[in-house]
Amino acid sequence: MSSLNLFDLIELYARRGVDDWAKAPPNLQSRAATCFMATQIATSYQDAADTLSTIYNGTNANKLSFIPMPKPGKSQKIDRCFFLPIRQKTASGEKMYFELVLLVSGTDCLAFRFEPADRPTWRHGYGHIQMNKKMLKKTINIGGIPQFIPDSYPAFPISTSSPLRMFFAMGTAVHGYADRGFAHLLVDVFQTAGRTSDSKPYLAELALFLGGTIRHRVDPGWKGLKVLASDFRHWGIRTISKKRR
Amino acid sequence: MNVLVCDDDPQLCDELADSVQEAIGEEPRKLVGEALTKELTNFFGNIKGCLNLEAPERCEALPPNPFDESIVILDNNLTLLEVEGAPLTAESVAGYLRAFTRADYIISLNLNSDVDFDLRFLVGDYSTRADLALNTSHLANRALWTGNVADAKDGFLPWYWPRLNTVVAKRREQIAFVRDRLNEPVLPSLDFDDVRTELLSAHALGALSPTAEREGAENDGVSPEEISFRDVFVARDRSLPMRREREKLAKALGNEVVQDIIARTVAADIDFWFRRNIVGPQEPLVDLPHLLSRLPFLLGKQAKELNGWNKCLDVRQPPFAIDQRLYDVHLAPAKYTCDLWVPNACFWWHELKNDEKLDELFFLAEEGDWANVAFCEDRSLFFDRDANNEWPLEFPAEFEGAWSRRYVAHIGGYQYTPRSRLAI
C-alpha cells in the first residue's frame, strides 16, 4: 500500500482538471484568458507536472502555470477554479503553499492563499487562509478581482501547516466534502488511474483532518464507535511511525 | 472448429496451418497458391452481379465456396498470387469476403508484424478491414482459441483478444440480430436509452455515422437515436469501400440476398464498434476486472489476497464470485442485457456509480481491506503492485474518456506498440 504522497495526489487531481479544462466551452476559456494570460493556465499534464516540480526562486515564474481544477458542480455557482502550488526553499527546508483563483462568473474573480504558519512570533504564525489581490508574491495580476478586498486580514485559521492538509482544505472548500464532493473526487482520480486502493489512506486522512463523517455516515451507536476506534488506531500507528522516522 | 488458412506461399501456408494445429489439435483446411488464385478469381467474377450499380436487386447468392462457414485466416501478403491488376492483400479482399460469402470470422495475418499488443486502442489493429489482425506467432497460442489464462504461451493473453472458439456462434447470433432489425434504430436496439447514449464519446457516435450529432447542436446532422442498422451499412466502409455500391445495395429492399449481405456487414461493424468504442474505453459499460478495480469491495474478503482477485476472473456466470445478495440487488439490474455484443459480462458504470448503497460500502471499507493490485491487460490477470518495482507498467491508451490509464506486465519478446505510450 502506498503511503500518503502529496505530489502523486496533486498530479492525479491535475490530470482530471486539465482534461475537464480541455473540454471547457470556448466562451469560458476566452473569459479565463482575459483574467489570466492564456499562457498562465496549464493545458497539459506536463505543464502541471512542471509546475509541481518547480522550486520558485523569484526568477522562474515562467515555469509555473495555474492548474485548472476539476469542473465544479452546477449548484456551486462558480464557473471554474485554478490553483497554483508554490514551493520555496527556506532556511529549515522547504515551504509549500497554494494560491487559488475562482472564476466566479463573467470575468469576475476571487483569489485566496492557503499558507502555512509564519514564524511563531509573527501575527500570521498559524496555518491560515486569506484573500488575495495579486498572485505569486504579488507578481501576477489577475483581472477581475475587486481591488477593495483586504488581503492580509481576515486570515482564517485552518488548523494545519501540512501541505497535504492545506491541499485538502482547498479541495474541500471548492468541491465540498461528501455527495460528489472532494472525497468522491479523491476516489475518482485514483479509480481512473487504476489504483483505487490507494485512495483509502487519503480518505482516512481527509476524514481525520475534517472530522468528516462520510466514511460511516456517523451515527451514534456501536457501528460509529467501532469506526471511530479504528480511526484512532490508524492515527496512533501513523503518529508512532512518524516519530520513529 | 472449421478453420481455413489462406496464403500465396505453400511453405508459409504450411507454417500457419502447423501453428493452428499446435493450438487446437486439428489440422485446418488450406487454400494456397494457384487454388487460392482460382477461388478468388471466381469469387470476384461472381460478385460482379451484386455490384452492378444498374440492377443491384438482381444480386444472387454465390455458389458454395471454401470460405463459407469458417474462420478464415488470410495472410496479408498475397503478392505471389497471379491475378490481374494490383497485387492482392488480405485487407483488400477481407471486406468483400465478409459481405458476399458466409465466412463467419475473418482474421488478417501479419498486417503489421510489429504489433503484438496494441497500446493505442486495445483492439489489435484498428485499421484492419478483417475482424481481427494477428501475427503468425499468435496462432500457436492456445489461449487465443480458448481464452484460458492457463493456456497462455509465455503468459501472453491480451484481454482484448476474442475467444476464437466462441466467435463463430456469436457472429451468427449477431447477424441474426441485425437481420431482424435492419430498419430499426441501432442504439435503442442495443439497449442504449437517451441517458446512456449521452455517455457515448464523440468518437463512438461518429463511428456509427459521420452525420450523427448530439441534440442541441446547431447543424443539421442526424440524431444518434435515429440511426438505423441500414444507415450504418451505408455509412461504414470497412467491408465495401465504394459508397455508391453501398447506397444502391441498401435500396434493394426486396432482395433477400442483399439483406443478408447488409446484415453480415453491419454485424461485423457493430461488433468492431463495441470493441473499439465501448469495451476498450470501458465506458459507459465496464466489464468485470475493470469493475473490480474500481469497486474492490465487491469482492468482499477475497479482496485482501491477490488470488481472490484472479479467482473471480475464472467464473463466467453470475454472480461472478461476488456476494449473491449484493449481486442480485445492485449489479444484476445494471447488467448489460445484449451480451452477444460484448465478449464478457458488462455493467452500466454510471448506474453503479450512482448507487448510494454501493457508495456507502466503498467508504465503509478500511484501509488494508484490499490488496494493492492492477489488472494487466496483456496477461488478463491481476498482479500485485507492491511485489515488483518494474511492472505492472502504467500506460495511457489513446481513446477518449476517463479510463485510459491501464497496465501491462510487459512480457519480454513481445512488441508493445507504440512504445512511446509506455513512457507517458
What per-residue confidence (pLDDT) applies to A58?
A: 86
| Domain identity same for B52 and B201 | no
Residues B282 and B347: their CA atoms lie apart, in Å, by 10
Q: Are B341 and B187 in contact (CB under 8 A)?
A: no
Nearest CA in chain A to B401: A19
Judge whether A125 lies within some domain: yes
What per-residue confidence (pLDDT) applies to A179?
A: 84
Query: Which of the four pLDDT bands, split at 50, 70 and 90, describes residue B218?
Result: low
| Domain identity same for B393 and B315 | yes
Segment B373-396 shows an average pLDDT of 90
A183 CB within 8 Å of a chain B CB:
yes
Judge whether A174 lies within some domain: no
Nearest CA in chain B to A44: B424
Segment B268-273 shows an average pLDDT of 98
CATH of the domain at B149: 3.40.50
A197 CB within 8 Å of a chain B CB:
yes
What per-residue confidence (pLDDT) applies to B285?
A: 98
pLDDT tens string A89-119: 988 899 999 999 999 999 899 999 999 999 8
- Is there a contact between B366 and A200 if contact means CB atoms under 8 Å apart? yes
ipTM of the complex: 0.84
Judge whether A225 lies within some domain: no
Residues B155 and A56: their CA atoms lie apart, in Å, by 47
Whether the model pTM is above 0.80: yes
Q: Are B410 and B393 in contact (CB under 8 A)?
A: yes
More confident call, B174 vs B210: B174
- Is there a contact between A197 and B407 if contact means CB atoms under 8 Å apart? no
Judge whether A35 lies within some domain: yes
What per-residue confidence (pLDDT) applies to A140?
A: 73
| Domain identity same for B71 and B134 | yes
Q: B103, B132, B164 — which closes off a domain?
A: B164
Provide the number of structural domains found in chain B: 3
Would you say residue B353 has pLDDT above 90? yes
What per-residue confidence (pLDDT) applies to A166?
A: 97
User: Looking at beta carbons, which residues of chain B come within 8 Å of A192?
Assistant: 402-403, 405
> Which residues span the domain enclosing B153?
3-164
What per-residue confidence (pLDDT) applies to B201?
A: 92
In chain B, which among 146-165 make CB contacts under 8 A with chain A? Answer: none
Chains A, B: CB pairs < 8 Å: 55
Nearest to B294 among A183, A184, A196 (CB): A196
Please identify every stretch of chain A with a pLDDT value under 70, giving residue numbers as ranges. Answer: 1-2, 38-39, 138, 212-228, 231, 242, 245
Q: Are A125 and A119 in contact (CB under 8 A)?
A: yes
Nearest CA in chain A to B374: A194
A80-90 and A67-68: which strand pairing? Answer: antiparallel
What per-residue confidence (pLDDT) applies to A194?
A: 93
Segment B187-215 shows an average pLDDT of 92
B385 CB within 8 Å of a chain A CB:
yes
Q: Are B58 and B111 in contact (CB under 8 A)?
A: no
| Domain identity same for B133 and B180 | no
B346-348 and B285-287: which strand pairing? Answer: antiparallel
| Domain identity same for B199 and B253 | yes
Provide the number of structural domains found in chain A: 1
Grid cell digits, residue B143: 489461449
Q: Report which DSSP code applies to B151.
A: G
| Domain identity same for B223 and B108 | no
Nearest to A200 among B293, B294, B367 (CB): B367
Could you give the angle at the alpha carbon of B190 between the alpha carbons of B324 and B333, nearest 5°? 20
Nearest to B363 among A2, A19, A214 (CB): A214
Segment B409-417 shows an average pLDDT of 95
- Is there a contact between B370 and A216 if contact means CB atoms under 8 Å apart? no
Judge whether A65 lies within some domain: yes
| HSE (side-chain half, CA atoms, 13 Å) at B422 | 14
Residues B205 and B209: their CA atoms lie apart, in Å, by 7
Nearest CA in chain A to B291: A191
> Rounded to a whole number, what is the distance in Å from the CA of B197 to chain A's nearest CA?
18
B367 CB within 8 Å of a chain A CB:
yes
Q: Name the region of A19 (left: φ>0; alpha: ψ -120 to 50; beta: rest).
A: alpha
| Domain identity same for B75 and B152 | yes
| Domain identity same for B212 and B299 | no
> Rounded to a whole number, what is the distance in Å from the CA of A194 to chain B's nearest CA?
6
| Domain identity same for B347 and B382 | yes
A203 CB within 8 Å of a chain B CB:
yes
Q: Are B282 and B403 in contact (CB under 8 A)?
A: yes
Judge whether A47 lies within some domain: yes
User: Looking at beta carbons, which residues of chain A come within 8 Å of B407?
Assistant: 194
| Domain identity same for B390 and B413 | yes
CB neighbour list of residue B153: distance below 8 Å, 6 or more residues apart: B140, B141, B142, B143
Q: B164, B190, B217 — which closes off a domain?
A: B164
Residue of A5, A13, A46, A195 for testing the chain B interface, max B β-carbons within 10 Å: A195
User: Looking at beta carbons, which residues of chain B come within 8 Å of A199?
Assistant: none
| Domain identity same for B289 and B275 | no
Would you say residue B347 has pLDDT above 90? yes
Q: B136, B164, B192 — which closes off a domain?
A: B164
> Rounded to a whole number, what is the distance in Å from the CA of B366 to chain A's nearest CA?
7
Residues B356 and B362: their CA atoms lie apart, in Å, by 10
Judge whether A240 lies within some domain: no
User: Looking at beta carbons, which residues of chain B come within 8 Å of A46?
Assistant: none
User: Looking at beta carbons, which residues of chain B come within 8 Å of A206?
Assistant: none
> Which residues span the domain enclosing A37?
6-161
- Is there a contact between A197 and B373 if contact means CB atoms under 8 Å apart? yes
| Domain identity same for B17 and B141 | yes
